[in-house]
Chains A and B, each alone.
Chain A
Amino acid sequence: MLSANAVLFTALAYVALLFLVAFVSDLRSRKGWLALVRSPVVYTLSISVYCTSWTFYGAVGSAARNGLEFATIYLGPTLVFVGWWFLLRKLVRIGRIHRSSSIGDLISSRYGKSTSLAVLVTLIAVIGTTPYIALQLKAVTTSFQVIADATGTSLLGIPTRDLDIRTGFWVAVGMAVFTILFGTRNIDANEHHHGVVAAIAVEALVKLFALLAVGLYVVFWIAGGVPEVFALPTSAAVLQGSDTFGIRWVALTFLSATAIVCLPRQFQITVVENADENHLRTAGWLFPLYLFLTSLFTLPIAIVGLATLPAGSNPDMFVLTLPMQHDQSALALLVFIGGFSSATSMVIVASIALSIMVSNHIVMPIALRLPRRSAGVSGDVKALLLVSRRISIGVILLLGFAYFVASAKSDALASMGLIAFAGVAQFLPSLIGGLYWHQASKSGAFAGLLAGVLTWAYTLLLPSFEGGAIPATFFERGPWGIAALRPQALFGAEGVDPLVHSLFWSLGVNVVLFVAVSLCREQKPLERLQATLFIDVFRNPADNEARFIRRSAAIDDLYVLAQRILGAEQAHRLFRDFARKQGSRDDLPQPDTEFIAHLERQLAGGIGAASARVMVSQVITGETISLEELMKLVDETQQVIEYSQQLESKSQQLQTTARQLREANQRLKALDAQKDDFLSQVSHEVRTPMASIRSFSEILLSDADLSHEQSTRFIEIIHNETLRLTRLLDEILDLSHLERGELTWTLEPVDALAVLRRAVETCQGMADGAAATIAVNGETGPVEVLGHGDRLAQVFINLISNAIKHNTGPSPRLDIRSSVADRRLIVDVQDNGPGVAAADRDRIFAKFSRTWASDRPVTAGAGLGLAISRAILRRMNGTLDLLPDTGQGACFRVVLPLRQTTGTAVGPAAGEQL
């Protein structure tokens, strides 16, 4: 049987287990067994610290209240990990090279290692995280309370009405102890908190397992299957919840995407605790998968909870109350532990991240400004830092507890989470601007951040205390009764969702000031240097810094400084290693610029870039930042970019040219081959009649005994063959002229049908000889085209005589049809002969492509007729084609455009009028 005490002891046992995990992992990593803690899977699981008790309990509550809105919380991070992977990679790379210890450190370092900016970012982070920590406390205490109420048991005899405050307090204390024990072992940010990360990873598995277990139980045991869930009447209410995909939806997705980058604890896990940049690749798909599994059962649990639990039940607790209502004690206990895991992991990581920021950016600068009590003792700074971190953790949890008490009246977990999200979203402009915009300056970042966070506090944080610390009239009428200043309706922006309203004003003010001030105010040299090193981080390793800042110092001073911050042992190791790198056998390196830069980076890993710079500056005897070198670097970068762009366009040009040349060469080769072919064909065509002429001439010359008839016949043959040769040469010249476009005739209006009739008449004798009939059909009146009468006649005669010559059928017949369509004259010459063999169809228009006929007449041409005809028609903007085979002889088609009538309004051409 479940009782409040049993739950408490299970929770304590679970915490003990976490202690063990953290302890063993720390032990292992110190012995150098890093294989497990440095795996990409552990890294990804630790990123899931994003899923706090808000998502564990609050997502279901959000789904029950606002339908699909809960999905935005998962959608944003998924978009970042899948689509903005390059941004995370840049952050991780910068974080490693510049040894950033927190998001505040990274921003301050980017803007000239500014202390004031670091302080501001830290304050914002603390203010923004406090509601979030309160949210976790609230979730844990509420879950305790639910169990106590439901089981009718009391926790350690405390009366139920006091339960929330007291449990909240003790949970906060417990978390503080755990965090101090495992989160403040060492000061160097880059010495990862292996123990904590391992514990977080275990918690990630526990909370996922608990959610999946309760989800499966609810869907398959309580509801009886997936379709049954969505058949419940409450499902419609949930699925058609308020304005899904509206402006609030967009704002929430944007916020959660921002949060995964800007939340201090996410920065701590994703960037600072990152051991290997390649782990991001795994996280790129595994983390979205984790989110997907986490959100898988949210809707069903909300639907079933609304349907089966009594009205008025807190939807934030459905995950817990559903199994309890069905007396599933073990499952309820598992859920409680899952929720407890979500809360503790968030609180631990967040308080570590915040304590680092507080100690590095607030305590250290103050300590540095205090008058020096004595010459530094070895490790004194380190001790100060560790103590201040431990105290910070306590203070931060106390703050969270205070907020928890102050805002006790508000029920919803999700709205508290969103307040925190909107707070840290103020980092976004400075962060993104710092990574991609050279001109972004410290003043701009400072102004934007400050204005943004003030607006956020006024419009969103303050209203969360409504009814508690601040009277409701303040919100209804505005301060001093000024309506334009009402926190949730600034300048008359009424009727807008409070979150969207706040986000619009705060980020708007933030971005505008950030950009405007950055544009107005000149950057300091160090800012400019850091900007270049950050933005071009993949081109400029941090070692480049030595190029621009020339510093000198006494090695002893540096050594004392390092000892104070890092401790004796680590300082000795650092100096010895660098001395070896310089090639010295001595344990102390040369204190050159490069070493000082290296040392400063190492110190920055512990105390933050700004403080490290201040401390190093205290022992530096001379420093010059070479502006000239800096400008050169910017120029070089610019030049490299321009040069590579030029190269790219040049190489593209070259590729294009090469391709054109290749094509031209191919065309030339083809032409050359055609020319060779042509010559060889000409030679063949000339040699054949020549052979007859020579042979018969020799006969006539050598034989005196020839009869008169014989000699006459032989001379006749010689004569015919010379005529054939002449014809051949004429045709070749003609074709050559046509192909080269040398017109010896001009285009003039011609009546194409009259020309056709003339051609038919000319061929009539030949047709009679072959016993062929010619039928002419179609258009009768004049059809004017632009052409040349004799040349057009030549084309028609060629087609008709071909049709007669190649028609071997028993009753040769020619059908000539003319028609006008589409402002074109079409003349088809159809015969009923054998047609053109498929193999010959493509080449009959080529030169010398005479198809062989066994009974070729002596008058046969050299095979240039169709080629010439086609060339002639092309001159007249017409075409000549062989129509597709229909099995009824060959059909050649002549198409000629009608002559354009010069009048404008006449309309149809002459042919069409008739």
Chain B
Amino acid sequence: MSARVLIAEDEPNLVESLSFILSREGCVVSAVFDGESVLERLRSDRPDVLVLDVMLPLRTGFEVLKLIKTDPGLRGIPVMVLTAKGQERDRRTAEDLGADAFVTKPFSNQDVVDRIKRLAGA
């Protein structure tokens, strides 16, 4: 498969590891580092799946998620929320806002890959 995945994450090391494991599975991966750039990129170069960190600079992941899910043009893009805050509250917030998957850090590479594949295939 050659799903196009956009990673929104401000930790360079995580962007690198995610890019590596997803590219290895045949995905086309690109990355942005803050909340503002995500929305621009989604409109200019629409991906098949978005990996969205919650603690993003400029605009938090939850804000970005809300904008995506209320925008008719972007609503269809599956979003996997990635967070270091493993709390139940955040999971619920993500679900309420319409996240399609929720993964906490540290994550299992296999798990992330499986979920991305499922989201891209759907």
Contacts and interface: CB of A to CB of B under 8 A. Distances in A.
Contacts of B12: 858
Contact of B85 (A683, A690, A698, A720): A683
Interface string B1-44: 00000000011111011101100100000000110000000000
A540 interface: no
Contacts of A480: none
A693 B16 CA distance: 12
A114 to B, nearest CB: 86
Interface string A846-862: 00000011101010000
A693 B13 CA distance: 9
A698 B84 contact: no
A699 B20 contact: yes
Contacts of A720: 13
Nearest to B110: A698
Residue among B10, B14, B18, B104 with max Cβ neighbours from chain A (10 Å)? B14
Contacts, number: 71
A692 B33 contact: no
- Size category of the B interface is 20 to 34
Given A687-B84, A852-B58, A854-B34, A702 B109 contact: yes
B20 A687 contact: no
Interface of B: 10-14, 16-18, 20-21, 24, 33-34, 55, 57-58, 84-87, 104-110
Contact of A687 (B21, B57, B105, B108): B105
Contact of A717 (B13, B24, B104): B13
A698 B107 CA distance: 10
Given A703-B24, A852-B57, A854-B34, A696 B17 contact: yes
Given A694-B107, A699-B20, 6 more contacts: A685-B84, A688-B105, A695-B21, A696-B17, A721-B13, A858-B13
Contact residues of A: prevailing secondary structure:
helix
A691 interface: yes
A62 B60 CA distance: 89
A853 B57 contact: yes
Contacts of B10: 852, 854, 856
Given A687-B106, A852-B58, A854-B33, A699 B21 contact: yes
B53 to A, nearest CB: 9
Interface in A812-864: 852-854, 856, 858
Contact of A695 (B24, B34, B107): B107
Contacts of A854: 10, 33-34, 57-58
A695 to B, nearest CB: 4
Contacts of A693: 106
A684 B85 contact: yes
Interface string A783-816: 0000000000000000000000000000000000
- A-B pairs, top 3 by smallest CB distance, nearest first, are A852-B57, A691-B105, A695-B17
A893 to B, nearest CB: 27
A462 to B, nearest CB: 99
A680 interface: yes
A702 B4 CA distance: 23
Nearest to A717: B13
Contacts of B34: 852, 854
A691 B86 contact: no
19 contacts: A680-B85, A683-B84, A684-B84, A690-B106, A691-B107, A692-B11, A692-B14, A694-B106, A695-B17, A695-B21, A695-B107, A695-B109, A696-B17, A698-B108, A698-B110, A720-B13, A721-B13, A854-B58, A856-B10
B18 to A, nearest CB: 7
Nearest to B24: A703
Q: Is the interface of B mostly helix, strand, loop or mixed?
A: loop
B13 A692 contact: yes
* Contact-size category for A: 20 to 34
B17 A699 contact: yes
B109 A688 contact: no
Contact of A683 (B18, B55, B86, B108): B86
B57 A695 contact: no
A676 B20 CA distance: 35
A680 B106 contact: no
B11 to A, nearest CB: 6
Interface in A431-487: none
Contacts of A717: 13, 16
A693 B110 CA distance: 15
B86 A687 contact: yes
Contact of B109 (A690, A699, A721, A853): A699
Contacts of A698: 108-110
Contact of A684 (B24, B55, B57): B55
Contacts of A695: 14, 17-18, 21, 106-107, 109
Nearest to B18: A695
Identify which of A692, A703, A856 gathers the most chain B CB atoms within 10 Å of its CB.
A692
B21 A691 contact: no
A687 B84 CA distance: 6
Nearest to A688: B84
A683 B104 CA distance: 11
Contacts of B17: 692, 695-696, 699
Contacts of B105: 687-688, 690-691
Contacts of B14: 688, 691-692, 695
A694 B13 CA distance: 11
Contacts of B85: 680, 683-684, 687
Contacts of B108: 694, 698
Most buried by A among B24, B58, B108, B109: B109
A688 B11 contact: yes
A703 to B, nearest CB: 7
A693 B107 CA distance: 10
A680 B88 CA distance: 12
Interface in A75-127: none
Contacts of A688: 11, 14, 84, 105
Contacts of B20: 699
Contacts of A680: 85, 87
A685 B105 CA distance: 11
Nearest to A687: B84
A853 B10 CA distance: 9
A625 B16 CA distance: 106
Nearest to A856: B10
A646 B106 CA distance: 64
Contacts of B57: 852-854
Nearest to A681: B85
A690 B55 CA distance: 16
B108 to A, nearest CB: 7
